[in-house]
Amino acid sequence: MKTNLGPRGAGGRGAVRKGLPQEVSPAAVSAPERATVFIAASLLLDYPKQNFGQILDQVQTETAKLPSPLEGNFSRWLEWARRVGKTKVEQTYVNTFDEQRRCALELSYYAAGDTRLRGQALLAFSQLYAAAGYNLVSGELPDYLPAVLEMAARSGDPIVEAALASHRDGLEVLRTALYQRESPWEQIVGAVCAVLPEIDEATRARYQRLIRQGPPAELVGINDLPFPTFPEATR
């Protein structure tokens, strides 16, 4: 399996409905079940590979063991992918993630935007990979969501999971953008959110502000990042 380490609703262009999705209910899962969610989401949020059919089979086998709400998230996406086929999934992926800024898969983009703070954020993620003993070999930026999910699944490192949780506001903006486009990938991001710590009021306020205003533009000066940089990961 290649990895990132060492109808109208299929994510078309532009929003097709307004409003916010229902809040995700936290799922009570074991550590292995959480890892299954992370690795399955990593595979399905990445651009379809040559062995697409094999990946679908593997994801279906593993996610079938998850509690029913989570299993349903993955089974609905898998049913859509099998129905429309690999070429359509590829086209929809590009239309969704490569051409819609609010559907960016780079985690720090939502909080840092196209500002100088983004460099600090990417450095923090690079340090996180090094601390967990991984090298990013896919050519993507270090905050690329599928790669971070894969690292979280394979390492089981609580610091990596904390990194994901600290970007919950960005994940919620992404989930909302996918919901508004009636994208099948909303189900996958929703599954990830369901196995992260429950969202608090401060995070809820941040992501709702980001939905209204979008990621920040260039800032004057260098300020602190709006999320933790995990100094423990630099040891």
State the residue range of the domain holding 49: 31-216
Q: Tokens for 125, please give them.
A: 């993620």
What digits encode the pLDDT tens for the residues 86-113?
999 999 999 999 877 889 999 888 877 6
Residue 176 has pLDDT above 50, yes or no: yes
92 domain residue, yes or no: yes
- Identify whether 160 is part of a domain: yes
Q: How many domains does the chain have?
A: 1
Residue 169 belongs to some domain of the structure:
yes
Residue-wise pLDDT tens digits, 51-63: 999 999 999 999 9
Evaluate if residue 120 carries a pLDDT over 70.
yes
Residue 70: its pLDDT value, please?
Answer: 97
Mean pLDDT, to the nearest integer, of 211-219?
52
Residue 10 domain-assigned (yes or no) = no
- The answer, yes or no, to whether residue 218 has pLDDT greater than 60, is no
Q: Is residue 75 part of a domain?
A: yes
pLDDT on residue 235: 31
Residue 149: CB atoms within 10 A of its CB come to 27
pLDDT single digits (tens) 29-52: 999 999 999 999 999 999 999 999
